[in-house]
């Protein structure tokens, strides 16, 4: 029984590691690209492209949703100042 739990835990750890690698791979430089974009529209297009590519590689709907929220917050910080 303990062996099963250990194997499940190791699988989850590998999955988390892979998800971290995907986030790092897809998000490297994204904030800078958003900040330096020529317009709000261009910034939103950057977010759309990154999220679309990430969606195809990340199996976790929670992580995909958090990434979308995070990137939209970055756009808001640089382009939708109140």
Q: Cα(58)–Cα(71) distance, rounded to whole angstroms?
A: 16
Taking the domains of the chain in order of start, what are their residue ranges? 2-79
pLDDT digits (tens, 9 = 90+) for 29-40: 899 999 999 999
Q: Give Cα 65 to chain centroid, integer Å.
A: 8
The pTM assigned to this predicted structure is 0.72
Residues 69, 54: contact at Cβ < 8 Å?
A: no
pLDDT band for 15, please (50, 70, 90 cuts): low
Q: Cα(76)–Cα(59) distance, rounded to whole angstroms?
A: 26
pLDDT digits (tens, 9 = 90+) for 45-73: 999 999 998 888 887 788 888 889 999 99
- Please say if the pLDDT value at position 13 is more than 70: no
Residues 76, 32: contact at Cβ < 8 Å?
A: no
pLDDT band for 82, please (50, 70, 90 cuts): low
């Amino acid at each position: 029984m303990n062996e099963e739990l250990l194997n499940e835990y190791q699988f989850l750890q590998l999955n988390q590691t892979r998800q971290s690698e995907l986030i790092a791979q897809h998000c490297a430089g994204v904030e800078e690209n958003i900040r330096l974009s020529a317009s709000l529209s261009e910034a939103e297009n950057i977010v759309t492209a990154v999220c679309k590519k990430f969606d195809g590689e990340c199996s976790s709907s929670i992580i995909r949703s958090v990434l979308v929220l995070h990137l939209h917050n970055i756009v808001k910080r640089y382009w939708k100042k109140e």
